[in-house]
Homo-oligomer: A and B are copies of this chain.
Amino acid sequence: MNSEAHTSAHMAARLSLALVHYPVKGRQGETMASAITNLDLHDIARAAKTYGVNRFYVVTPLEDQKALAGKIVSHWQNGAGSVYNPHRGRALDLVSVFSDIGEAVSEIAARGHASVKIVATSAVPHRRSTGFSEFKKILENPGNEGVGFLLALGTAWGLADEFIEAADYVLAPIYGQNDYNHLSVRSAAAIMLDRLFGDARGATI
């Protein structure tokens, strides 16, 4: 492992993901609680495991939704799924289900981080948007060595404005080739992790 790869692995290990189901925006921009989507948990856990992220928090205040998320995870960790496909369990081991983002922040702090910074994501530009290269520099900054970063992804029509306003950073939107910016949260999470922690951009195979 070269030193760039080492740095990148070290940075990934200081970052956790949160998939937020409340507060998020509904179709008309109203603040709502969304339902758990089975494949969100699978896809994002698999991407988190691939890129060496520390933890993946599923955030929902709804008791039945917390129970559903717990059931999905344990099916693949200990149930029939663990026999059918053990790789899924390894990814879903990263998941913890919490009622709100504050519980995730507390858990990160309890694991020895001096402070925790929340990084909101959005499909539209924000006056405080931080580009991917700039955010990598923040992660690499020796002054941030003790900081745990929590990258928050919104379900439904995205994180509620009040959540974004309260965040420490807002990561820039992902742009492709045009104005169509309707990636799924699963795709967006995968692309973000690849931009931040992917190998040397395919320079070598």
Residues of A at the B interface (CB closer than 8 Å) are 5, 8-9, 12, 27, 39, 42-43, 46-47, 49-52, 84-85, 87-88, 90-91, 125, 129-135, 172, 174-178, 180-184, 186-191, 193-195, 197-199, 201-205
Contact B198 A191 (CB under 8 A): yes
A84 partner residues in chain B, CB cutoff 8 A: 27
CB distance from A56 to the nearest CB of B (A): 13
CB distance from A39 to the nearest CB of B (A): 5
Taking a contact as CB atoms under 8 Å apart, the answer to whether B183 and A50 are in contact is yes
Interface CB pairs A-B, < 8 A, 18: A5-B177, A27-B84, A50-B177, A52-B176, A52-B178, A87-B180, A91-B180, A131-B202, A132-B201, A134-B202, A134-B205, A172-B205, A176-B193, A176-B199, A177-B197, A184-B186, A190-B190, A191-B198
With both beta carbons as reference points, the residue of chain B lying nearest to A53 in the complex is identified as B177
Q: Is the CB of A205 within 8 A of B125?
A: yes
CB contacts (< 8 Å) of A133 on chain B: these are: 201-203
